[in-house]
């Protein structure tokens, strides 16, 4: 069976560094890209009043089509972007409300692409991704960090997990 991969981009700028890095990786590795800015995803709501936004159709489509999910986010104030955090928070819906959807993530693979204006970031940055993967029964396959100031799209990008 073919291992279909997708990069989910969560950033405040559609033409920013994260988007450019994800696009180049997608180009070099023939991977699909989903930009969270193309969807209306509301904040997590304990009462489930946001069930008619784009989250459920999007997450169900991702689960149905892809075996490997790579999250791409800039490092904003030592954390993932706000839009990525909202996406992760909404995964609570597929654990408590749409449980069968959440169970469908088990066995899938996930990784992270991060970037900012430094060569390295603290490994703690990846804790929410690793722990979420563990909780959902996904296999965390790794992470890679880019210094956006040094990124050259003409370079071959070496990614062990793609």
CATH of the domain at 82: 3.40.50.360
Any domain includes 156:
no
Selection from 82, 79, 80 nearest residue 71 by Cα:
80
Q: Which residue has the higher pLDDT, 162 or 33?
A: 33
Any domain includes 129:
yes
The pLDDT-based confidence of 61 (bands split at 50, 70, 90) is very high
Q: HSE on the CB side for 136, CA within 13 Å?
A: 31
Q: How many domains are there within the chain?
A: 1
Mean pLDDT, residues 59-83 taken together: 96
**Tokens describing residue 31:** 């991977």
Any domain includes 134:
yes
Q: What is the pLDDT of residue 154?
A: 78
Any domain includes 153:
no
Mean pLDDT, residues 4-18 taken together: 95
Any domain includes 155:
no
8 A C-beta contact, residue 24 and residue 157: yes
Selection from 109, 114, 105, 113 nearest residue 141 by Cα:
109
Q: What is the pLDDT of residue 66?
A: 97
Q: What is the pLDDT of residue 2?
A: 72
Mean pLDDT, residues 72-87 taken together: 96
Mean pLDDT of the chain: 93
Q: Say if residue 31's pLDDT is above 90.
A: yes
Q: What is the pLDDT of residue 161?
A: 76
Mean pLDDT, residues 60-82 taken together: 96
Any domain includes 76:
yes
Any domain includes 23:
yes
Residue 16 to residue 37: CA distance in whole angstroms: 12
8 A C-beta contact, residue 113 and residue 22: yes
Residue 18 to residue 9: CA distance in whole angstroms: 7
Any domain includes 118:
yes
- Domain range holding 74? 5-147
DSSP E strand boundaries for the chain: 5-9, 32-35, 68-74, 109-116, 139-147
* Chain segment 122-159, per-residue pLDDT in tens: 999 999 999 999 999 999 999 999 999 999 887 888 88
Q: Is 143 helix (H, G, I), strand (E, B) or coil?
A: strand
Give the C-alpha distances (Å, rounded to integers) separating 42 from 19, 49, 79, 91, 105: 21, 10, 19, 12, 21
């Amino acid at each position: 069976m073919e291992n279909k991969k997708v990069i989910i981009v969560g950033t405040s700028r559609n033409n920013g560094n994260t988007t450019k890095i994800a696009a180049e990786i997608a180009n070099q590795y023939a991977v699909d890209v989903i930009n969270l800015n193309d969807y209306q995803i509301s904040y997590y709501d304990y009462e489930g009043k946001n069930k008619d936004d784009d989250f459920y159709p999007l997450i169900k489509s991702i689960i149905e089509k892809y075996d490997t999910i790579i999250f791409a986010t800039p490092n904003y104030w030592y954390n993932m972007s706000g839009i990525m955090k909202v996406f992760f928070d909404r995964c609570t819906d597929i654990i408590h409300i749409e449980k069968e959807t959440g169970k469908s993530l088990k066995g899938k693979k996930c990784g992270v692409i991060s970037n900012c204006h430094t060569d390295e970031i603290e490994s703690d940055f990846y804790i929410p991704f690793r722990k979420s993967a563990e909780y959902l029964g996904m296999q965390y396959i790794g992470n890679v960090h880019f210094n956006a100031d040094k990124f050259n799209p003409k370079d071959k990008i070496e990614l062990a997990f793609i």
